[in-house]
Structure 1
Amino acid sequence: MNIKTLFFGITTDLVGASELQIDVTENTSVKDFKLVLKKAYSQLENINSYAIAVNEEYATDNLILKNGDVVAVIPPVSGG
């Protein structure tokens, strides 16, 4: 399956792109997708946590991705 993946903030710098197409197998969960990302882009381990949104809605780890989904990788936000 082909998943359009968008990166924001520091994650853009860590992977070297703001958008990538990532191929995953069918029945891949958000949790599995995070593992795929960390394997392909080990630099992502440099941040403690990040949120995942699928099709513009925050997703839980057990959500199963579908072909053509758009996944956003959103780093923690800080500031004041």
Structure 2
Amino acid sequence: MATTTAAATVTVRYWAAARAATGTDSEQRSGATVGEVVDAAVVAHPDLGHVATVATFLLDGRKVGRDHVVAAGATVEVLPPFAGG
């Protein structure tokens, strides 16, 4: 029997190109995993799609993959690759 994880509402923070693609610093999104949260953000902000494919994701300050489960009230951060030195 497969188990399902309920969707949680989290804060999504956007940095650099992700912020430019969404037009906002942060917003609330729902999903059961980081990937579901990011996919919901891409549906709302199609320009985020390319950025999300190369971004790193933090969950409450820790680097995680798209399959990581999120808890209600958590913060997911979308960090595009940064250039410069």
User: Which range, TM-score by smaller chain?
Assistant: 0.7 to 0.9
Quote how far apart the aligned CAs of 1:45 are.
2.0
The percent of aligned pairs where both chains have the same amino acid is 16
Aligned equivalents of 1:4, 1:35: Cα separation in 2: 14
Between structure 1 and structure 2, the one with the greater Rg is 2
Aligned equivalents of 1:21, 1:61: Cα separation in 2: 17
Residues 62/46 of structure 1: CA separation in 2 closer, same or farther (3 Å cut): closer
Bigger RCO (CA 8 Å, 6+ sep): 1
Q: Which runs of 5+ in 2 are unaligned?
A: 1-7
1:54 corresponds to which residue? 59
- TM-score scaled by length of structure 2: 0.79
Count of residue pairs brought into register by the alignment: 77
- Superposed structure 1 runs of 4+ greater than 4 Å apart: none
Q: Which runs of 5+ in 1 are unaligned?
A: none
